[in-house]
């Protein structure tokens, strides 16, 4: 099997792509129910990752998150959906790497893969003009060492954004 075919099969197995019996590859459509399910998964996994990252959140990480969040804001200002999605995930991944929980991070990344192929089209429906408000709350909670505040900010960030996509 070629590496490309193996990669496609793996992405299909992880739910990022759909493969028909004839071998046709497509991106799966996200129904409102599927969006709600993915939001619930993100709320469970990512809140726990953020909570585990909190004791290891040093000033350099907080500064890095602020820089990434500035790039998220630039992407929103330029209405660049691809850059927005990329930098938003970079923001979350930078935080969650500090959790030192590779199995949970892998699960979060699988959920992101399932959303990824259709996020660009869905993002276009939002007509967003402001960067995500919850990123600033996440950064403030990290700076203050506020675990309940961090958990609430992450939960709100990962669920509100996806729920806005449901029609």
Torsion angle (degrees, nearest 10) of CA 158, 82, 34, 93: -40
Predicted confidence (pLDDT) at residue 69 exceeds the cutoff of 60: yes
17 and 35 both lie in a single domain: no
Q: Element (H or E) spanning 28, and its range?
A: none
CA distances from 45 to 48, 51, 111, 136, 144 (A): 5, 10, 10, 20, 22
Average pLDDT over residues 22-26: 76
**Distance, CA of 123 to CA of 149 (rounded, Å):** 27
24 and 87 both lie in a single domain: no
Report the CATH number at residue 36: 1.20.120.530
**Distance, CA of 5 to CA of 95 (rounded, Å):** 32
pTM: 0.83
Task: Summarize pLDDT for 93-149 with one digit per residue, the tens.
Answer: 999 999 999 999 999 998 888 877 666 666 666 566 677 789 999 999 999 999 999
- pLDDT value at position 24? 79
Domain that holds residue 7: 1-30
16 and 38 both lie in a single domain: no
Task: Summarize pLDDT for 122-134 with one digit per residue, the tens.
Answer: 666 656 667 778 9
- pLDDT value at position 138? 98
Q: How many helices (H) and strands (E) does the chain have?
A: 7, 2
**Distance, CA of 47 to CA of 53 (rounded, Å):** 10
Instruction: Count the domains in the chain.
Output: 2
36 and 88 both lie in a single domain: yes
């Amino acid at each position: 099997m070629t590496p490309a075919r193996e990669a496609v099969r793996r992405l299909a197995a992880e739910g990022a792509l759909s493969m028909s019996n004839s071998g046709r590859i497509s991106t799966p459509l996200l129904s409102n129910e599927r969006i709600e399910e993915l939001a619930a998964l993100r709320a469970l996994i990512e809140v726990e990752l953020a909570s585990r990252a909190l004791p290891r959140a040093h000033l350099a990480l907080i500064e890095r998150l602020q820089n990434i969040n500035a790039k998220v804001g630039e992407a929103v200002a330029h209405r660049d959906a691809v850059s927005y999605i990329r930098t938003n995930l970079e923001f979350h991944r930078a935080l969650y790497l500090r959790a030192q929980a590779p199995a949970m991070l892998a699960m979060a990344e699988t959920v992101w893969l399932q959303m990824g192929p259709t996020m660009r089209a869905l993002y276009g429906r939002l007509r967003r003009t402001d960067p995500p408000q919850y990123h600033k709350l996440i950064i403030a909670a990290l700076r203050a060492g506020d675990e309940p505040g961090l958990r609430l900010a992450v939960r709100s960030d990962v669920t509100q954004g996806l729920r806005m996509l449901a029609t």
